């Protein structure tokens, strides 16, 4: 089942165009193979953020027994990997080094594991209603898919890398071998297969959670443009207001009238999150640590927990949740909920 297709980006350089085409080619083969299989969830071009780190996975597969991450690479010419795991590629008869896609996807997998582990109680149910299930013991694999016209020199390539490197058209065969999915009846009687599995409800829950965490780069760019436009308009409005205010003050002084401006901010507009050391309420950076979410003040460089007493009932039974770049304070007692970042 395809949960997310490849997001097309505006590209101009030949390298970016070739890279996007390679990802589209891989997405095509994955769609042909798994679009009608509810036990195999495919998420193409998945970008997420956790613990102030961001990762982009070209293709993510969630299946009955675990996860497979796929890194796509467009390589025209030869590719070699030496015994130290260092990659080189040829282009127009010139050899040059390149970052290791295997190391890249390893980092992506580590961050994905960390995020799923942190949110396990939000995603998976409790076993027999008592023991919270997790993601330990699940199968984790990662592969690299290169262009079909790549010439792979496997003679000097370390076996552990060669086993993870495939041309696009052979990728699905390797995925089916890794997943080793059998009919449900056969799985029930096959005691030799000890892999812990997700049921269909848990698979759907994982898929929904991951999609909710996706960061759309196109929307980010549009939002950034809107923010810049609003900032420009705000500056223009401020200058106009200052000009009007100066003229008004001059008129008031000429009339010997003393005006006392009073500016009050509605209580609901007051930020409920600020540095507990210097009271700064705007210049800070949201972060995640051992004790949960907190902010690091850009003014005094000190930390303040996001978790605080409920502004409505003053109870401390609260929790901070994160959805993409939004942080929300939730009160378990009165049901109060407010976006704090």
Q: According to the model, what pLDDT value does residue 76 have?
A: 86
Q: According to the model, what pLDDT value does residue 47 have?
A: 96
Summarised one tens digit per residue, pLDDT across range 172-210 is: 999 999 999 988 777 777 778 889 999 999 999 999 999
Lowest average pLDDT, out of 22-26, 58-62, 95-99, 330-334, goes to 330-334
- Among 194, 190, 178, 146, CA closest to 22: 146
Max Cα–Cα distance, the chain, nearest Å: 96
Cβ(119)–Cβ(209) under 8 Å?
yes
Summarised one tens digit per residue, pLDDT across range 40-86 is: 999 999 999 999 999 999 999 999 999 999 999 999 899 999 999 99
Q: According to the model, what pLDDT value does residue 249 have?
A: 59
- Among 319, 273, 281, CA closest to 300: 281
**Count of Cβ atoms closer than 10 Å to residue 20 Cβ:** 19
At 257, is the pLDDT very low, low, confident or very high (cuts 50, 70, 90)? very low
What single DSSP character describes residue 270?
A: S
Instruction: Calculate what percentage of the chain has a pLDDT beyond 90.
Output: 47
Half-sphere CA count of 80, side-chain side, radius 13 A: 11
Cα-based distances in Å from 340 to 207, 282, 335: 27, 11, 15
Mean pLDDT (the chain) is: 84
Q: According to the model, what pLDDT value does residue 267 have?
A: 38
- Among 248, 270, 313, 17, CA closest to 147: 17
At 144, is the pLDDT very low, low, confident or very high (cuts 50, 70, 90)? very high
Residues 166, 147: Cα–Cα separation, whole Å:
9
Q: According to the model, what pLDDT value does residue 233 have?
A: 63
Report pTM: 0.65
At 242, is the pLDDT very low, low, confident or very high (cuts 50, 70, 90)? low
Whether 219 has a pLDDT exceeding 70, the answer reads no
Q: According to the model, what pLDDT value does residue 40 have?
A: 97
Q: According to the model, what pLDDT value does residue 280 have?
A: 81
């Amino acid at each position: 089942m395809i949960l997310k297709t490849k997001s097309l980006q505006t590209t101009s350089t030949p390298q970016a165009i070739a890279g996007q085409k390679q990802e589209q080619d891989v997405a095509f083969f994955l769609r042909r193979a798994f679009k009608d299989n509810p036990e195999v969830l495919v998420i193409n071009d998945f970008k997420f953020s956790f613990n102030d780190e961001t990762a982009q996975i070209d293709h993510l597969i969630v299946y009955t027994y675990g996860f497979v991450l796929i890194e796509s690479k467009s390589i025209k010419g030869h590719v070699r990997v030496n015994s130290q795991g260092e990659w080189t590629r040829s282009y127009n008869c010139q050899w040059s080094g390149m970052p290791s896609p295997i190391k890249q996807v390893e980092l992506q997998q580590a961050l994905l594991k960390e995020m799923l582990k942190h949110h396990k109680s939000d995603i998976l149910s409790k076993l027999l209603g008592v023991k919270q299930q997790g993601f330990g013991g699940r199968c984790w694999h990662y592969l690299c898919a290169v262009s079909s016209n790549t010439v792979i020199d496997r003679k000097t390539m370390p076996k552990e890398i060669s086993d993870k490197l495939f041309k696009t058209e052979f990728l699905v065969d390797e995925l089916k071998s890794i997943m080793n999915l059998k009919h449900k009846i056969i799985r029930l009687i096959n005691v030799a297969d000890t892999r812990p599995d997700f049921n269909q409800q848990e698979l759907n829950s994982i898929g929904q959670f991951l999609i909710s965490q996706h960061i759309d780069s196109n929307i980010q760019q549009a939002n950034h443009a809107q923010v810049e436009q609003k900032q420009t308009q705000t500056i223009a409005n401020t200058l106009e207001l200052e000009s009007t205010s100066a003229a008004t003050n001059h008129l008031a002084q000429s009339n010997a009238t003393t005006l006392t401006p009073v500016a009050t901010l509605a209580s609901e507009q007051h930020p409920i999150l600020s540095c507990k050391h210097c009271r700064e309420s705007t210049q800070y950076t949201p972060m995640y640590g051992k004790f949960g979410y907190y902010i690091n003040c850009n003014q005094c460089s000190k930390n303040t927990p996001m978790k605080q007493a409920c502004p409505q009932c003053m109870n401390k039974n609260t929790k901070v949740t994160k959805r993409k770049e939004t942080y929300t304070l939730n009160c378990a007692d009165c049901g109060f909920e407010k976006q704090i970042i």
